[in-house]
Amino acid sequence: MFSKLPRPESIEGTPVSVGAPSSTFSDIESVVSLSDQEHSDTDTTEDPNSTAVHPEFAFADGNIEIQTTDQTFWVHEYYINRFSVFATLIQTAKNSKTVSSRRITVDCDKKTKGEDLYNTLKVIYASHIDGIPNFDSNTIISTLRIASTYDYPNLRKFAISKLEAMDLPAIQRIQLSDEFLVPSFEIPAFTELCSRPEPISATEAEVLGITRFAEITRIRETQRTRWAVEVIKAINGNLLQTSNLVDSPQPESSDDDGSKSDASDSAFGHFSQFILLVLPQWITYAYTHNHTQNTYQVVHRFLRVIAA
């Protein structure tokens, strides 16, 4: 039945060749095959499910690929082997038969953030020729976190020394001590919280916890009471000296002058008693509200009036 079909003809009536494929289709086939091969190579080197590679740490010659939950880094084994945990993971991967010839993949734990690893890489890749840059506290804290988690003792010591030289709030130093077990942060921070005039805030109390907050409150109350007692003792001493001066023998005078002197002594006595009753309350208020300097000024003026 196929013999009845009309034979294909060209536009001008010339029979069309039905032999081997034309060179045009051969060229197209070659291009398609090459494209397929390129896609195949790409698929074998990049995991479509992996996170984005950080542009600052995407070294073409980096033989280690570190993956966090939100970032991927292509870095050099020379730097990463300084972390004991990473070095063990790299060696384990090398001993297995699943390592590609291009990069060794190291997966961080779920708690490790890409930002912390990025900050740490900035520190360990920094050029030491021109001196170590002045990194901010967030970068150094990230470095301390990664160095502690993945065991790089020298980097941990470096980060701690940098943080000790920074003027960090007392409560932040306590947080760092709790997270990274740095006892050198604790004593100065607790001393500052116990001695400062400002009260402990609700946020700070939450960080401290009930036990430490109660102990700091007890110490603060003890110090405040001791300070108030010392000030009152000093005032009493000055009042006593002033009273002795008033009670000392005076030259004989007329009856009118004597009556005026008795009235003055009585007024001074009542005024002194009033001051001794009110002043301790004022001292406690001033200490609580950070008016210590004002307290000293009031006391000084009061003593000058008495001595006048």
Q: How high is the pLDDT of residue 222?
A: 87
Q: How high is the pLDDT of residue 202?
A: 95
Q: How high is the pLDDT of residue 22?
A: 46
**CA-based nearest residue to 68, from 122, 113, 104, 123:** 113
What are the sequence ranges of the domains in the chain?
53-166, 167-196, 209-246+269-307
d(CA 71, CA 91): 22
d(CA 66, CA 87): 12
Q: What is the pTM of this model?
A: 0.62
> Does the domain spanning 53-166 belong to CATH 3.30.710.10?
yes
Q: How high is the pLDDT of residue 251?
A: 57
Q: For the chain, list residues with pLDDT below 50.
A: 1-45
- CA neighbours within 13 Å on the CB side: how many for 280? 13
pLDDT tens across 102-148, in order?
899 999 999 999 999 999 999 999 977 677 788 999 999 999 999 99
